[in-house]
Amino acid sequence: MERKHTGIDYTLLFLLFLLMCVSLVAIYSGAGQYFSDDPTYFVVRQLIWYGIGAVVIVAVMLVDFDLFRNFSIPVYAIGMVLLLAVEFFGEERNGAQRWVFGIQPSEFMKIFLILALAHLLYKLTKDKQKRTFKEDMVVLGKILLVSLPPFFLILKQPDLGTALVIGSVIATMLLMSGIRWRILLSLVGIAVLGIAFLVYMHEAHFEFFSEYLIEPHQLDRIYGWLDPDSDTSGIGYQLNQAILGIGSGQLFGAGFLEGMQTQSDVIPEIHTDFVFTVIGEEFGFLGAMVLLVIYFLLFYRMIMISLTCNNLYGSYLVAGVVGLLVFQVFQNIAMTIGLMPITGLALPFISYGGSALLTNMMAIGIVLNVHYRTKNYMFTSEDTFS
């Protein structure tokens, strides 16, 4: 017996609305310093981007998510062509070659990869209740075959932040694939050995390490993260100023438009990558916790949608989106308080910027689509009939 579609998830939309409100308040406070004659300059543009994002969500929801499988491979191929175009014909800005034809393909590749991996896992696991070790290795091999080319192309641009996001999507999909834990633990061990190798090359063969294995600005960011006090006016400047601002917020914050660091124009990119500093300084620990609770509820809601979806492909799609957003939130906040190196990742739905916001809104549209078209069956699941 079949029931009607579940319907629009208004809880998810309400949480997104709250994040928009936080974004506008934080951007107004942090970015007003750049346009004293028009302090609403960035706020108005962020609101426009949110409006465009709402249109994107509606457009994504108009297509049954099950049909995404029909064009997951073509859009993945388009994404790869664009990444290759960046490699050979890309436009360089601020020392990074990430743009071609006026767009940044790595942003769209996040979504394209989720669609492709969800389709791949659906085909590989749909009719498999239990797999052999050999079959698990085949699943792993195919996931890596699809995932590693865009990962390394993005890493080469160089765009470490987006590459790490791609890595988080890959890790989430591997967890969802049902591959044996000993295989996954082996992958973790390989990753640890890779990090150990890089540390060894840094200590024993620094010239080779700095020439071929890492970009100079990336190495500076690692130094600035490990010892920000060693050069407070250089590589450690941004992190030191951010920590000083957040720390001065204490429990209740300095108050809206009252943050010393926020309003004195001493923190670069405070309305984009370091927008969490505004919240921490002006609204304190309590304000930061309110934001984290909103994020927690957002992710919890998406996880529940993935778990309750009786369409395996839909569950994979939502899981990919969760992996995409959770890592970005963790990395951005962690880098702002000195727990992770600075990578230039935006805080989802809060930081000012069009491309990242539209990508994340598209991801939310996918989740809403899956929830809206989830059907409940009394005796079986939708995949039984597909």
pLDDT in tens, 307-364: 988 889 999 999 999 999 999 999 999 999 999 998 888 999 999 988 899 999 999 9
Q: Is the pLDDT of residue 252 over 70?
A: yes
Please give the helix or strand (H or E) that residue 10 lies within, else none: helix 10-31
Residue 166 belongs to some domain of the structure: yes
CA distance 220 to 236: 9
pLDDT value for 222: 87
Q: Mean pLDDT throughout 218-233? A: 82
Please give the helix or strand (H or E) that residue 297 lies within, else none: helix 275-308
Percent of residues, the chain, with pLDDT higher than 70: 94
Burial 231-258 (b: 16+ CB within 10 A, else e): eeeebbbbbbbbbbbbebbeeebbeeee
Residue 370 belongs to some domain of the structure: yes
Contact between 261 and 29 under an 8 Å Cβ cutoff? The reply is no
Residue 3 belongs to some domain of the structure: no
Phi-psi region of 375 (alpha: psi -120 to 50; beta: other; left: phi over 0): beta
CA distance 303 to 323: 10
Name the domain count of the chain.
1
Q: Mean pLDDT throughout 23-36? A: 86
Residue 1 belongs to some domain of the structure: no
pLDDT value for 381: 52
Instruction: Pick 126 or 377 by higher pLDDT.
Output: 126
Q: How far is CA 72 from CA 39, 58, 259, 291, 309, in A?
A: 42, 19, 46, 34, 20
Backbone angles phi, psi at 91, to 5 degrees: -90, 135
Contact between 255 and 278 under an 8 Å Cβ cutoff? The reply is no
pLDDT band of 3, cuts 50, 70, 90: very low
Round the average pLDDT of the chain to a whole number and report it.
89
CA distance 357 to 241: 26
What residues contact residue 118 under an 8 Å CB cut-off, 6+ apart? 68, 72, 173, 313, 316, 317, 320
Residue 207 belongs to some domain of the structure: yes
Backbone angles phi, psi at 273, to 5 degrees: -65, -30
Cis, peptide link before residue 158, omega less than 30° from 0: yes
pLDDT tens digits for range 100-152 = 877 888 999 999 999 999 999 999 887 666 788 888 999 999 999 999 999 99
pLDDT value for 384: 47
Residue 5 belongs to some domain of the structure: no
Instruction: Pick 43 or 228 by higher pLDDT.
Output: 43
Q: Mean pLDDT throughout 173-188? A: 92
Residue 78 belongs to some domain of the structure: yes
What residues contact residue 153 under an 8 Å CB cut-off, 6+ apart? 80, 83, 84, 86, 87
Contact between 19 and 294 under an 8 Å Cβ cutoff? The reply is yes
Instruction: Pick 61 or 232 by higher pLDDT.
Output: 61
pLDDT band of 383, cuts 50, 70, 90: low
Domain of 308?
Answer: 10-384
Q: Is the pLDDT of residue 171 over 90?
A: yes
pLDDT band of 4, cuts 50, 70, 90: low
pLDDT value for 5: 59
pLDDT value for 104: 87
pLDDT value for 6: 65
pLDDT value for 301: 96
Residue 324 belongs to some domain of the structure: yes
